[in-house]
Structure 1
């Protein structure tokens, strides 16, 4: 039987690669200059692309920001499955460890989130939706662990989830600023807040 010729890389693969390249560069630019300080022209220049080529993929700066922010949400589709199997705390600590290798994305998210607290910011509604969704998701995971006896705290699981999210962001900023070990910090924080079973 003759060898099968290698599959050709079609235009869709090239388009997907180019979009990913743009998103990565935008992540670095927004991390360094903020959303309002970075520009499409600056991102195109770093890539050596004409501005029109970049805008073919992302016609507006807000569309590019949305794609950059969506990286964070798409990065961990099975968090709840892992939380049910291993427990909420190990799942969270696993994400913190993974983020050690995604410093630019974490920095960008921290910078843009701070900017997006302003009601007129393009990402403001996204930020509110994200906080609401993550708090509900984490509350459900905490409630499951409470029922399983893995978390002894009897406090409201959604309230606990909100505290975890808020504290986590502060821990990440300390890590970015002065190198504080985020895994050790989150382990201590989660233990104090959730009172896990031994």
Structure 2
């Protein structure tokens, strides 16, 4: 058998698939470390060195995957948006509030991400913050969608209150963020899903 005929043995984990799996595992550990660091210190208070240490890699290794903190933050927020979208995208307008309660329950399983959202949403009010536009658009889109949803219920005579759909949309978003903030302080005392359900029941006539 010639040298060309001898089967080439790929060391375990050394082939393309092994390298890909290792790279994905490192990337996942970086994102987890990023969530921890940003949740504790915020975006401005965190450093690439701290994130690398939390991920158990060198700072050079971290930069190989993500060139700077802004890229890290955007990736973490995109990942969370994808997770929420997977819960919400199968719903229609009539099931929106049920789906939102499912998202809230999922958030409770990921306190680090919820703490990150709370921290960054406050920091990102600064127009120079890398997540400013992302959060502004997120809030604008959510209010716009909710306004249309309340307008639909209003047209059907299903609102219990004499208030503008736009105001109700802002109220719901405020309740969502405020309740989740309270839950982070005292999860044993605050049931976000139960409280949101009570709000929906108070606003809409028994359809949810």
Fold shared by both chains (TM-score > 0.5): yes
The Cα shift of 1:197 comes to 3.2
Secondary structure of 1:90 counterpart: helix
| TM-score, normalising length: structure 2 | 0.79
Could you tell me which of 183, 192, 195 is aligned with 1:182?
A: 192
Partner of 2:3: none
| TM-score, normalising length: structure 1 | 0.82
The Cα shift of 1:26 comes to 0.4
Residues 87 and 150, structure 1, Cα contact 8 Å, conserved in 2: no
Given the alignment of the two structures, is residue 191 of structure 1 paired with residue 201 of structure 2, yes or no? yes
The Cα shift of 1:76 comes to 2.5
Q: Return the alpha-carbon distance in structure 1 between the equivalents of residues 145 and 30 of structure 2.
A: 30
The Cα shift of 1:156 comes to 4.8
Give me the CA root mean square deviation: 2.6
Q: Which runs of 5+ in 1 are unaligned?
A: 1-6
Partner of 2:122: 114
Could you tell me which of 21, 43, 56 is aligned with 2:29?
A: 21
Partner of 1:102: 110
Aligned ranges for residues 2-17 of structure 1 at < 5 Å?
9-17=17-25
Q: Deviations over 1:90-115 (max 9, x none)?
A: 11111111111011100111011111
Greater relative contact order (Cα < 8 A, sep 6+): 1
Change (3 A) 1:14 1:145: farther
Partner of 1:171: 179
The Cα shift of 1:66 comes to 0.4
Number of residue pairs matched?
190
Given the alignment of the two structures, is residue 128 of structure 1 paired with residue 136 of structure 2, yes or no? yes
Q: Return the alpha-carbon distance in structure 1 between the equivalents of residues 34 and 121 of structure 2.
A: 15
Q: Return the alpha-carbon distance in structure 1 between the equivalents of residues 200 and 102 of structure 2.
A: 13
Partner of 2:159: 152
Could you tell me which of 35, 38, 42 is aligned with 1:30?
A: 38
Partner of 1:4: none
Q: Which runs of 5+ in 2 are unaligned?
A: 1-14
Secondary structure of 1:9 counterpart: helix
